[in-house]
Amino acid sequence: MIKKIEHLGIAVESIKDSLPVFEALLNNTSYKTEIVESEFVKTAFLNIGESKIELLEATDPKSAIAKFLDKHRSGFHHLAFDVDDIEEEIIRLESKGFTFIHSSPKEGADNKRIAFLHPKTTNGILIELCQDC
């Protein structure tokens, strides 16, 4: 079951340059930065109420974030939902006709298991499902 918006993903050219902007805007500091080797991305997280903002910087020119930035520049990248049981939610959504980019959940940032729905089945929006590890 989808419980809430977990975070909004924002693709940025540089976390070093973008983080101070978001910290000033939200009047809050980042609680975590990390590199997710499997996704070739560096992330920074800021809390905002019950949700978060995730800044994403490419660590490799072949990464999905680098490709996104080449096409769209900095901006909104994805919407993430917190779920109770990611495997169960994948089965439910596939039965409704949604397709996934990955065939099974994988390890993501911020101690989460993640799965992305393909934007072609979600009105062009990249959707991420997240479950606490």
Number of domains in the chain: 1
Q: Render pLDDT for 63-82 as a digit per residue (tens, 0 to 9).
A: 999 999 999 999 999 999 99
Note the pTM of the prediction, 2 decimals.
0.92
Q: If you compute the radius of gyration of the chain from its CA atoms, what whole number of angstroms results?
A: 14
Question: What's 28's domain CATH number?
Answer: 3.10.180.10
Using left for φ > 0, alpha for ψ between -120 and 50, and beta otherwise, residue 81 falls in beta
Q: Render pLDDT for 47-67 as a digit per residue (tens, 0 to 9).
A: 999 999 999 999 999 999 999
Residue-number span of the structural domain to which 14 is assigned: 2-132
